[in-house]
A and B are shown apart, each in its own frame.
Chain A
Amino acid sequence: MKTLLIDYGSGNLRSCAKSLEAAGFNAGGNALIVSSDPRDVAAANALVLPGQGHFRQVMESFLASGFEDALREHIALGKAFLGICVGMQILFDSSAEADLAGLGVIAGRIERFAKVSPVPQMQWNTLSPIGDSPLMRGLPETSFAYFVHSYYAPVGVTPDGAITEYGRPFQSVVSQGNVHATQFHPEKSQRLGLQMLGNFRDWAVSN
């Protein structure tokens, strides 16, 4: 299986690449490519979109990278897709953080934490599965992932995924068909993060 990690200037690109390698995306017949060239997407079986920072800045960088059409086509073809942190948020229609539209791959709006302190949430927090996301399969009963964020996806944006609580419940894992994404940073979530990346790899291989 060939996985392409999109390089469009995201700060967590390097740790994402290293964690994907550690999770077997570049071993045993799998190949990981880090690329800033949208023409490489067609040959990839799986696509990973990292993201860190402000919704507007991330969305603008992504649009400027020229990957939009290739990403849409990849998803429309039913190929495996993984978004991470703001790489998850820009999949949605919109965000309270910025007045420019997201990609609209998943319906819904990203909201800002209120009535909870401190914001950003910056800590390890637990994941409770809802529905049946391939990312969540076989995880320990109490699973901690590492979060750094001020904005969240409301519960129910996709029926499958996971819920986390911080002042309110929000959706920390979303799965919709071939599109999967996490609000937290699997590349900073130690063994649990690698296990979830491995789950994505297994699912993508069998997809």
Chain B
Amino acid sequence: MKFSIQVSEGPYNHEASVTAINFIKAAVEAGHVIFRVFFYHDGVNNATRLAVPPQDDRNVVAQWSELAKENNLDMVVCIAAAQRRGIMDADEAKRQGLDADNLAEGFRISGLGQLIEAGIESDRLLVFGA
């Protein structure tokens, strides 16, 4: 089955993001396809490479980046939600005249149309969090 995933909460306030990671791992293992992972609301905070959790805690951002690399995932961060919360790739930071960018490896920034397209193209769209 072809799944898409919406992640609506950040890496630490809620379990939702980690649950999504675990779901994706299990789905891929069972032979399913992940069409896209879309990060919305505070879910965009999963995409900051500046997160440095304590050493004895899990690094959820790094887990996402690793998951993307291992499974060639398309991980899209909503641009409108990201701009509100200060999640920027280099191009966007430049366009906004900002002196820093922070998008972690494996993520790309795009529009909400990517979420709707994921709903159209996938057999199931699952929302984690909110």
A binds B: no
Binding site for A on B (CB under 8 A): none
